[in-house]
């Protein structure tokens, strides 16, 4: 295996790892939040006295379209948006037992589920409840608001008419037979530096008994390890890598719109899917406002804005994903494997499990144990 020189350690990189040491999914929020410290909240001032307070791990600038669409319908409402890191958001909800935010919206699925499981959420049923997949919510308390598939990206020129692997079995066969193209030209996450990469590896190991054989093939081809999807995507687009495995789908889809050489594959044996999760805290200062906002996020209108303008693929069954990668709602595809919003997420908080996955990873790559 090789570590690329000068790699960019951004959203899901080293900083996210240090913040989220001891968890897997908690580093996921760092994928979407490049801010290293908390700042003053963003305020969309209304004409009246009503307030809505949101804690979120998403960049304000990214989700601003959906926030402004909501406040346009509620001109009397002042929306106060706190952009936080995963652990900070989690700690605030734990500490603010008497009064806290009205909506907590985070991509750290495990920490969100931990809060909900421990009684920090209140029940709420959105109007769009029956247009949401069963896996996307738990006890009418926690809801997946958007999804993120993990994909394979490849360089079209380097494949030059060759068959592109669309399953892990085909990928393994390609790695074992295409030495000239594959050797030192494969990329994937460094799971010891990326919490998101560690999550995906743990899920792959659960999903496929042949995953570690695939990792051995990565090691035999001196795979390059990255702490971000963007680094892998750019190197594949430039032809410096032939293929990268377990890349963030929305990033790949966006880059593929301008990079003709970049191809994207949703693995057809199974495609791992993670989500951003939102809930209304039991100690919400303005629970009615929280319910109204979450209802909007999960509505057809809110989901369409998140999907089309923000770039977060929708969970609502009537919203097409509308991109070069997802020509229809990908959740209708049988090979997508969403991570359910349920108590099984709590196993990814287990330190012993994390250490075991890393040990097996090192062993499969042929590195030190």
pLDDT on residue 330 = 55
pLDDT bracket for residue 30 (50, 70, 90): very low
Q: What percent of the chain has pLDDT over 70?
A: 85
Listed in sequence order, the residues at least 6 apart from 288 whose beta carbon sits closer than 8 Å to its beta carbon are none
Q: What is the DSSP string of 224-273?
A: EEES-HHHHHHHHHTTS-SEEEEEEHHHHHHHHTT-TTEEEE--SS-EEE
pLDDT bracket for residue 348 (50, 70, 90): confident
Distance CA 189, CA 193 (A): 8
189 contacts 197 by C-beta, under 8 angstroms: yes
- Which residue reads 């196993």 in tokens? 347
> pLDDT at residue 36 above 50?
no
> pLDDT at residue 329 above 90?
no
> pLDDT at residue 11 above 70?
no
Average pLDDT over residues 188-192: 91
pLDDT on residue 326 = 58
216 contacts 362 by C-beta, under 8 angstroms: no
pLDDT on residue 43 = 96
294 contacts 103 by C-beta, under 8 angstroms: yes
pLDDT on residue 241 = 97
- Which residue reads 């004409």 in tokens? 47
The distance in angstroms from the start CA to the end CA of the chain is 14
pLDDT on residue 14 = 36
pLDDT on residue 13 = 39
Beta bridge partners of 82: 55
pLDDT per residue as tens digits for the range 93-114: 999 989 999 999 987 888 899 9
Angle at alpha carbon of residue 356, lines to 116 and 229, rounded to 5°: 70
**Of the ranges 115-119, 208-212, 330-334, 361-365, which one carries the lowest mean pLDDT score?**
330-334
Structural domains of the chain in order of their starting residue, each with its CATH number: 14-147+275-328 (3.40.190.10), 149-272+351-365 (3.40.190.10)
**Of the ranges 27-31, 88-92, 109-113, 353-357, which one carries the lowest mean pLDDT score?**
27-31
pLDDT bracket for residue 334 (50, 70, 90): low
pLDDT per residue as tens digits for the range 265-281: 999 999 998 899 999 99
280 contacts 219 by C-beta, under 8 angstroms: no
> pLDDT at residue 35 above 50?
no
290 contacts 52 by C-beta, under 8 angstroms: yes
Q: What is the DSSP letter of 275?
A: E
**Of the ranges 25-29, 236-240, 351-355, which one carries the lowest mean pLDDT score?**
25-29
Average pLDDT over residues 41-57: 94
pLDDT on residue 59 = 80
Average pLDDT over residues 207-224: 94
Tell me the pTM: 0.72
Closest residue by Cα to residue 38 from 84, 91, 79: 84
pLDDT on residue 188 = 97
Distance CA 195, CA 17 (A): 6
pLDDT on residue 251 = 80
275 contacts 338 by C-beta, under 8 angstroms: yes
Distance CA 128, CA 341 (A): 17
pLDDT bracket for residue 5 (50, 70, 90): very low
Question: For 69, what's the count of Cα atoms within 13 Å in the CB-facing half-sphere?
Answer: 18
């Amino acid at each position: 295996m090789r570590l690329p020189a000068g790699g960019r350690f951004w959203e899901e990189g080293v900083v996210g790892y240090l913040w989220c040491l001891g968890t897997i999914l908690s580093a996921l929020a760092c994928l979407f939040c490049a801010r290293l410290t908390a700042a003053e909240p963003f305020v969309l001032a209304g004409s009246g006295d009503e307030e809505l307070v949101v804690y979120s791990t998403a960049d304000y600038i990214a989700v601003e379209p959906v926030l402004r669409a909501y406040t346009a319908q509620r001109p009397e409402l002042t929306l106060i948006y706190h952009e936080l890191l995963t652990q900070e958001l989690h700690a605030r909800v734990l500490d603010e037992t008497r009064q806290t935010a009205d909506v907590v919206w985070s991509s750290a699925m495990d920490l969100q589920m931990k809060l909900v499981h421990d009684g920090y959420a209140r029940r709420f049923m959105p109007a769009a409840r029956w247009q949401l997949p069963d896996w996307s919510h738990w006890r009418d308390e926690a809801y997946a608001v958007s999804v993120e598939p993990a994909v394979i990206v490849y360089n079209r020129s380097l494949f030059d008419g060759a068959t592109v692997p669309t399953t892990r079995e085909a990928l393994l066969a390609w790695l074992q037979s295409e030495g000239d193209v594959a050797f030192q030209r494969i990329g994937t996450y460094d799971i010891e530096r990326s919490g998101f990469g560690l999550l995906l590896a743990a899920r792959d190991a659960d999903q496929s008994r042949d995953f570690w054989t695939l990792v051995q093939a990565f090691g035999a081809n001196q795979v390059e390890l990255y702490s971000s999807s963007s680094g892998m995507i750019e190197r594949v687009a430039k032809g410096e890598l032939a293929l990268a495995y377990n890349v963030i789908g929305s990033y790949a889809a966006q880059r593929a719109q301008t990079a003709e050489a970049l191809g994207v594959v949703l693995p057809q044996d199974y495609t791992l899917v993670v989500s951003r999760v939102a809930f209304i805290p039991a100690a919400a200062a303005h629970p009615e406002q929280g319910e109204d906002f979450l209802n909007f996020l999960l509505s057809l209108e809110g989901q369409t804005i998140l999907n089309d303008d923000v770039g977060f693929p929708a969970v609502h069954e009537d919203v097409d994903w509308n991109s070069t990668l997802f020509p229809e709602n990908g959740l209708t595809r049988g090979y997508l494997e969403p991570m359910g919003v349920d108590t099984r997420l709590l196993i990814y908080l287990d330190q012993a499990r994390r250490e075991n996955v890393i040990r097996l990873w090192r062993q499969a790559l042929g590195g030190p144990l």
